[in-house]
Amino acid sequence: MSASNLVTSGYISRLRQAVLEGTPLSGNSLRGLMKSGKERDGSSSVSTTATSRTPGDYTPGPATPVSSAGSASTLACEAIPCSLTLSLEVSLNRFREIGIDRQQAHCPQDVLLCWKMCSLMGLDDDVPDLFVVMLYRSLKLMHRCGYHTQDIVTVTSYAVVYSVDILAKHLGTMDWKEAANMVGLQLYLAHSYLMDEHCPLKEWHKHLFSQYCSMAVLSAATVQLMRCRGFNLSLEPKSLQHIYHELLLAVHNYRWNPSILEDEE
């Protein structure tokens, strides 16, 4: 298997530790990672980072919206180095093209939500289309089941933490197709844990996983993912709050300024 088909990111390991400690990576931490990454493999590529805010200091409400589509980096944070701005904009444009132009997203907010999910998982421009499409299809299923957008944001915040933990344990051994299906299944676990009325696994298999595996295999994979967490799907509020706020902010940014997803030609 080609190395390019494997999920590899030194940032994921750092992010995992930050999530567990409830202290997201700051801009200074990111710059240190950029330097060490270049020294290691000579590459200037680097994943995007979460904001440098401490968890709990953001409360959704009136705020200054993103001023233009060219200011997509504002969604991430003020601490992101200017050199990463172009990378973030290209990444967001790609998510827009897959979600809106190819009609994979249920709604425009999902474009920003899925983009931010990948950013928080330490993944950006190297994410293949199949991974992005899985995120869109998973959210679309929840929308069609009637879940409110804010509930979906809560579900995705849990799924991000679950997924980062698994990705960090399988760096360089899990291919992108497997990772995409794993994240989709983590979304199922999170929504079944959080929602009083959840969509049965057989429906997720029918709409998302039928081309990948049988229902029996999917059930076994579900149990295995729960076993990896000691059959405990709860998360400490401190480790979750930052992720939730970042995802909710991404959704609100579209509501404040829909032009952020306009195609620039």
Position 100: which residue type? Answer: I
83-92, 220-229, 255-264 — most confident range: 220-229
Closest residue by Cα to residue 35 from 26, 48, 44: 44
Domain assignment present for residue 125? The answer is yes
Domain assignment present for residue 189? The answer is yes
How many independent structural domains does the chain possess?
Answer: 1
Domain assignment present for residue 61? The answer is no
Whole-structure pTM value: 0.71
Domain assignment present for residue 113? The answer is yes
115-119, 152-156, 163-167, 251-255 — most confident range: 152-156
For the residues 61-74, what does the mean pLDDT come to? 34
Q: Give alpha helix (H) positions in 51-148.
A: 85-96, 108-120, 129-144
Widest pairwise Cα distance in the chain: 50
Domain assignment present for residue 117? The answer is yes
For the residues 43-62, what does the mean pLDDT come to? 33
For the residues 44-50, what does the mean pLDDT come to? 31
Which of helix, strand or coil describes residue 245?
helix
Q: Convert the pLDDT of each residue in 191-223 to its tens digit.
A: 999 999 999 999 999 999 999 999 999 999 999
pLDDT band at 23 (very low <50, low <70, confident <90, very high): low
Q: How far apart are CA 250 and CA 244, in angstroms?
A: 10
Alpha carbon distances (Å) from 52 to 57, 93, 114, 248: 11, 24, 20, 16
Domain assignment present for residue 58? The answer is no
- Is a pLDDT exceeding 80 seen at residue 176? yes
Tokens (6 digits) for 62: 């009136």
Give buried/exposed letters for 176-212 (b at 16+ CB in 10 A, else e): bebbbbbbbbbbbbbbbbbbeebbebeebbeebbeeb
Q: Convert the pLDDT of each residue in 91-122 to its tens digit.
A: 788 899 999 999 999 999 999 999 999 988 88
- Is a pLDDT exceeding 90 seen at residue 43? no
Domain assignment present for residue 231? The answer is yes
Domain assignment present for residue 223? The answer is yes
Q: How far apart are CA 260 and CA 265, in angstroms?
A: 14
Q: Is 121 exposed, middle or buried (0-12, 13-18, 19+ CB in 10 A)?
A: buried
Q: How far apart are CA 145 and CA 262, in angstroms?
A: 28
Please indicate whether residue 256 or residue 239 has the higher confidence score (pLDDT).
256
Question: What range does the domain containing 231 cover?
Answer: 7-48+67-261
